Structure formats: C-alpha cells, structure tokens
Structure 1
Amino acid sequence: MSSNNLDTLYRQVIMDHYKNPRNKGSLEGDILTVDMNNPTCGDRIQLQMQVKDGVVEDAKFDGEGCSISMASASMMTQAIKGKKVDDALEMSSLFSKMMLGEDVDTDKLDLGDIQALQGVSKFPARIKCATLSWKAMEKGVKE
C-alpha cells in the first residue's frame, strides 16, 4: 500500500473514532476517576476505570477536545479493557515512544487502531493531544 493510501486510511480511522467514539460515557460503582487537561490547546478528559485484581475490567471517558485527543481516548479505552494493568502500562510506554518517532515493536503488543496515530509524531504540537488519555490512565493505575 502506498504511503499516501496509508495516510488516508489512518485519517479515516482517526475520524471514525472521533465521530463515533467507543467507550464514551461514565461508569458506576467502585471506579478510579482521573481528570486531566492540556492547557496549551484546551483538551480535557475524564477517564474512569474499573480495575479489579490487577485487570482493567472496564474503561470509559468523557471530555472535549480536538479529533486527535478524542480519537486517542476512544482507541486507548478499547485497547486496555480486559488487559492486565502491567500490559496497559507497557502499551502506554510503546505508544509514548511511537509518538516520539521511535521505532517500536508493534508485534509485541497488538496496538490495533492505535497505529493510526503514528503520524502525529510528525507534528510535535499535537503529541500532547494524543498522549493525554494515556497519561490519565497511567496516573489512575499508579495511584
């Protein structure tokens, strides 16, 4: 697939997650809640996770922001549900490296739709948008 076709596909995946976010809403019961924002652009997110026995059983988010931050939150919540906390943190580490333009072994953990965000690394001002929900997840599971 040509680079141009791949870029178009990735843009479509990002816009699909932005227009049709997965896991948007709130959870009830015994949950972790993390509020974070990106003051440079106004993105804000509230991430809620249900973690039991070291596993992220459920995750939802609410917030507002650019297509990158909201699509990333949608993708991230999809990716971490059902994962061990350690695997979610490893995924977050891989994602951060990908955002910094580093080569990552995507075979190690299936990033799925998240790979569509790899082009963000070419736009340093947008990296914080893409990583906001991931930083919220890290903060939540480490508390």
Structure 2
Amino acid sequence: MSFNNLDQLYRQVIMDHYKNPRNKGLLEDGNLTVDMNNPTCGDRIRLTLKVEDGKVTDAKFDGEGCSISMASASMMTQTIIGKDVETALNLSKIFSDMMQGKDYDDNIDLGDIEALQGVAKFPARIKCATLAWKAMEKGVKEES
C-alpha cells in the first residue's frame, strides 16, 4: 500500500473514532474518575475506569476537544479494557514513545492506535493525542 493510501486510511480511522466514539459516557459503577484538560487548545476529558483485581474491566470517557483528542480517548478505552493495569501502563508508554517519534516495540499490535502515529509530525498536537492516556496513567497510579 502506498504512503498516500496508508495516510488516507489512518485519517479515516481517526475520523471514524471521532464521529462514532467507542465507550463514550460515564461509568455508573466506576471506581476511578480522572479529570484532565489541555489548556493549550481547550481539550478536556473525564475518564472513568473500573479496576478490579488489578485489571481494567471497563472504561469510558466524556469531554470535548479536537478530533485527535477524542479519537485517541476512544481508541485508548478500547485498547485497555480487559488488560491488567501493568499492561495498560506499558501500552501508554509505547504510545507516548510513538507520539514523540521514539523507537517503540512494534511487535505489539496497537490496532487502531497506529493511526495516530502521524501526529508525531505535529508537536502542538501531541498533547491532544496523549491527554486520555495521561488521565489513565494518573488514575491507575493513584489507585494503587
């Protein structure tokens, strides 16, 4: 697949998550709630997680912001549900490395998250993409 076709596919994945967010809303029975914002561009998120026995059993987000921040939140919740906290934190580290243009373990299937790798070319948008991930990190670290 050519670079242009791949770029177009990634844009479609991002816009799909933005227009049809997965796990949007708040958990009634969540045991972790984290509010974060990105004052640079006005993105804000409320992340609710249900963590049981060291495993993320459910995750939802609410908030408003640009397509990158909302798509990333949708992708992040899909990715961490069912994972143990250690794995979720490791995925966050991999995502952060990808956003900063660093080498990362590309043997791990990141699924739709890979569509955000182009954000690394736009430093001002990296905070948008990592907002939900930072909220998740903060929540699970405070909980443990």
TM-score (norm 1): 0.98
Alignment-derived partner of residue 33 in structure 1:
33
RMSD: 0.7
* 1:17 partnered with 2:20: no
Measure how far apart 1:104 and its partner are: 1.5
Does the 8 Å contact 2:36/2:46 carry over to 1? Answer: yes
Alignment-derived partner of residue 81 in structure 2:
81
SS of residue in 2 equivalent to 1:139: helix
Aligned-partner Cα distance in 2 for 1:72–1:132: 8
1:81-105 deviation digits (Å, cap 9, x = unpaired):
0000000000000000000011222
Runs of 4+ displaced beyond 3 Å: none
Alignment-derived partner of residue 116 in structure 1:
115
Gaps spanning 5+ residues in structure 1: where?
none
Alignment-derived partner of residue 96 in structure 1:
96
SS of residue in 2 equivalent to 1:21: coil
Aligned-partner Cα distance in 2 for 1:30–1:78: 16
1:102-122 deviation digits (Å, cap 9, x = unpaired):
122221x32100000000000
Does the 8 Å contact 2:30/2:48 carry over to 1? Answer: no
SS of residue in 1 equivalent to 2:138: helix
Could you tell me which amino acid in structure 2 is paired with residue 70 of structure 1?
A: M
Aligned-partner Cα distance in 2 for 1:50–1:15: 27
Aligned-partner Cα distance in 2 for 1:139–1:132: 11
Alignment-derived partner of residue 48 in structure 1:
48
Aligned-partner Cα distance in 2 for 1:136–1:111: 19
* 1:125 partnered with 2:117: no
Aligned-partner Cα distance in 1 for 2:102–2:12: 23
Gaps spanning 5+ residues in structure 2: where?
none
Measure how far apart 1:30 and its partner are: 4.5
SS of residue in 2 equivalent to 1:105: coil
